[in-house]
Structure 1
Amino acid sequence: MNILISGGSGFLGSALTDELIKRYKNKGQELYITWLTRDSSQQHPVEVSMMTYDELATSNASFEVIVNLAGAGIADSRWSDERKQTLLASRVKPTESLLEFIARNKYKPKLMVSGSAVGWYGTQGDKPLNESSSYETDFSHKLCDDWEQLALKATDYGVPVAIVRTGIVIHPDGGMIGKLLLPFKLGVGGQLGDGQQIMSWVSRADWVGATIFIIEKHLAAQNNPQSDHNLVTVDNILQTATDTPAVVYNLTAPNPVTNHTFTKALGSWLHRPTFFTLPNFLLKLMFGEMSTLLIDGQKVLPQALQEAGYEFKQPTFKQALEQQH
């Protein structure tokens, strides 16, 4: 497999790279990974090649799969107008570069996997949401939808697209858990608001496993259309202007938890008390509009993945905390 990854050095891209190298090396299969980057001098595994966006603009290289993960962290700082523009541009510009590459390249990829988030659904409380569910309009939805709609333009050039709407990714190396470790270790971690908001999460191991599962199943379906590998269902197909398939997957664990359960489990794992509570008004004061990520819940379920046959390695939050790798 020859794969190009934007955002390859990030929290998810680096883990995906490591697992691909491990799996394909163990199987004795050929694997070529290229990270698309703005800084070719950044550290990377010896098995990985580097390509800048300037080099991509003139490259005639061929890639079987493109994984589009580049984007600034949505929860890294308050959502000022300037920050909102940064969040959008950090997703749009890399995706536009990839589309330009696809458009002029004679050898088209067989699949583009493009990032998104469960924020696409907006705030919907404890209502179960699968890939065919509708959305509520807010900033998170608009940010995700603008990114998704742009990525779907790859189908104009005959490239199938798989959108992956990711929940809260659980691993101590980064993401939400990485940010919470210090306050919880200091014994000042605690519940957010009333603690009843639903948190849709996924372990990093399952995010990586599911992404590879999607890639391999889609490639197998293209190589053998009569096989049972096709991952397109009535519920996860996306409408585009062409007949080229485009689908969406919720990359979340099948067992979402309340913030109260999340808090108690994290405290137990770290052997620390969780007596504190941050009330909603204080969260709004601290984080502004971004506090919706902490206060308002979403119950997003991985229906398409499970129907396709993916088996979660860490389906419960307790397992995600205890079985780190």
Structure 2
Amino acid sequence: MAELVRRAGLPVSAEEAFAWHERPGAVERLLPPSAGIQVAQCSGTIRDGDRVKLQVSFGGVKVPWVLEYYGYEPGRRFCERQIEGVFARWSHERRFEPDGPDACFLEDRIDFQMPGLWPIRSWAERRILRGLEKTLRYRHDTVAADLAEHARWRDRPRLRIAVTGSSGLIGSALVPFLTTGGHSVQRLVRGRSGEHEGHVVWDPETGQLQADRLQPLDAVIHLAGENLAAGRWTAERKERIRASRVEATRRLCQSLARLLRPPRVLVVASAIGYYGDRGDELLDETSRPGRGFLADLCRDWEAASRPARSAGIRVVVARFGLVLSPRGGSLAKMLTPFRFGLGGRLGGGGQFWSWISLDDVLGALLHAIMTDELEGPVNFVAPEPVTNAQFTRTLARVLRRPAVLPVPAWALRIALGEMAREMVLPSARVVPRKLEQTGYPFRHRKLEWPLRHLLGRQTPE
């Protein structure tokens, strides 16, 4: 039998921390993106007898892992035990101990045993313990930061928020982040809504919105659109991208403007591709647009929100930089070659990459909704952009691999075509002027820490 006990301080009361764990989305927020675990089914509560079904990936094979909750003591304790899975035995207890009125300690105690004979079982348990150490470090860091972000708005009412693109990279993380903070979320989705509670039909091609199922809304976050990096930019694909971004945004804004009670605020996704290729010029929200397909797309995309502004809705345009997550985007594509020691700079390496951690995207979206003076374009990037050479060196250091195999610009142009010229090789040194002026507290200002956090790598001393 192996045992692991870890304790962490949290910046809220024991009752508030416990309530976070009780809300929908807590299981999703606690799963490290590098762990290969997904939620297959969840009852939504942690009371005795409730269950959660996970899928654990082992070498590409998904194995079910079913856990049942027990030992529920409101505000103080809950436990889980394995019903089905790879362990011979598994139990996990979480205790919440007050540390004054506005702080507490969270203690995790895990007991488990692997099946098999002693030598093999002992070796497997040691490996599992090392992985659990990383998992609990990730969980404690995430819970503490999420609680601190939500505590900033403790005195404000909880909101009713609709989200488009809720299955994408940002949306799938945003929904559990909001619900664990106590907000009510409705997903605007294609297809039939009656099959899932909280889903409302929205057709981006026609603009039809199932208004009779839509609760009165405080805010809408519009993230839906064709993935820009999913393939070469053929003429047909560029047309699909434009339709999914520009026309769909215009139709959604027209639908929201027609509601009897429109939302107070709308956050519309855009991208720092708006600025084009600008070398080492320092760019903020007042900088002029660039040139090229992506810059033109972003300009038209942002202008498509005009019907919402005309209806008196406060509109925030989120110009996203390179969003860091091993589950998707540029970082996910780079991980495999870098893990095999085959990574290196892209092109000359001098082009600036303005990045932002996925957790800061979530926090900044909530900040945009809650901050009444924030309006218009807002750069969703970290305060310290890096060059591509600095990015690749940092990633290689975190993974403990060399970065000695650069990919020349001509090879990228052949492989990716116009997308390489517009998304990989351009330089955009963008800063989050408005977020900093309105007091958003970045979790990750420097690149190395979010990479270590997301990839489960030991934080440097």
Calculate the TM-score normalised by the size of structure 2.
0.60
2:433 — aligned with what? 303
Q: Give yes or no for the alignment of 1:247 onto 2:397.
A: no
Distance 1:43-1:311 versus aligned 2 partners, 3 A rule: farther
Which whole-Å deviations, capped at 9, do the CAs of 1:26-85 have from their partners, x for residues lacking one? xxxxx32111111457998xxx71111259534143211011110112122111111111
Aligned AA (1:154) = A
Distance 1:32-1:299 versus aligned 2 partners, 3 A rule: same
1:100 — aligned with what? 254
Query: 2: distance between equivalents of 1:8 and 1:196?
Result: 35
Aligned AA (1:305) = L
Gaps of 5+ in 1: 25-30, 219-229, 232-245
1:214 — aligned with what? 368
Q: Give yes or no for the alignment of 1:275 onto 2:404.
A: yes
Which whole-Å deviations, capped at 9, do the CAs of 1:168-216 have from their partners, x for residues lacking one? 0011121111111111112211111111111000000111111111111
Question: How many positions carry a matched residue from both structures?
Answer: 291
Query: How big is the shift at 1:273?
Result: 1.6
Query: 2: distance between equivalents of 1:186 and 1:42?
Result: 46
1:294 — aligned with what? 424
Alpha carbons 1:69, 1:115 under 8 Å: kept? yes
Distance 1:182-1:131 versus aligned 2 partners, 3 A rule: same
Query: 2: distance between equivalents of 1:175 and 1:79?
Result: 16
SS in 2 for 1:278: coil
Q: State the identity %.
A: 35
Q: Give yes or no for the alignment of 1:129 onto 2:283.
A: yes
Aligned AA (1:49) = G
Alpha carbons 1:57, 1:97 under 8 Å: kept? no
- Match among 33, 43, 52 for residue 201 of structure 2: 52
- Match among 32, 44, 52 for residue 184 of structure 2: 32
Gaps of 5+ in 2: 1-158, 456-461
Query: 2: distance between equivalents of 1:210 and 1:99?
Result: 22
Query: 2: distance between equivalents of 1:135 and 1:43?
Result: 43
Alpha carbons 2:165, 2:224 under 8 Å: kept? yes
Aligned AA (1:323) = H
Q: Give yes or no for the alignment of 1:257 onto 2:386.
A: yes
CA-atom RMSD in angstroms: 2.0
Query: How big is the shift at 1:99?
Result: 2.1
Aligned AA (1:273) = P
Distance 1:43-1:16 versus aligned 2 partners, 3 A rule: farther
Query: 2: distance between equivalents of 1:43 and 1:308?
Result: 40
Aligned AA (2:366) = I
SS in 1 for 2:305: helix
SS in 1 for 2:323: strand
Query: How big is the shift at 1:312?
Result: 0.7
Aligned AA (2:200) = M
1:19 — aligned with what? 177
Q: Greater RCO between the two (CA within 8 Å, min separation 6)?
A: 1
Alpha carbons 2:345, 2:388 under 8 Å: kept? yes
Alpha carbons 1:53, 1:97 under 8 Å: kept? no
| Structure in which a larger fraction of residues adopt strand | 2
1:8 — aligned with what? 166
Query: 1: distance between equivalents of 2:195 and 2:393?
Result: 37
Distance 1:324-1:41 versus aligned 2 partners, 3 A rule: farther
Calculate the TM-score normalised by the size of structure 1.
0.85
Q: Which runs of 4+ in 1 moved over 6 A?
A: 41-44
Aligned AA (2:445) = P
SS in 1 for 2:417: helix
Query: 1: distance between equivalents of 2:442 and 2:194?
Result: 33
Aligned AA (1:140) = L
Query: 2: distance between equivalents of 1:103 and 1:162?
Result: 15
Distance 1:41-1:324 versus aligned 2 partners, 3 A rule: farther
- Match among 267, 272, 285 for residue 118 of structure 1: 272
Aligned AA (1:215) = I
Distance 1:56-1:49 versus aligned 2 partners, 3 A rule: farther
Query: 2: distance between equivalents of 1:42 and 1:129?
Result: 45
SS in 2 for 1:268: helix
Distance 1:137-1:7 versus aligned 2 partners, 3 A rule: same
Distance 1:142-1:42 versus aligned 2 partners, 3 A rule: farther
Alpha carbons 1:115, 1:164 under 8 Å: kept? yes
Q: Give yes or no for the alignment of 1:165 onto 2:319.
A: yes
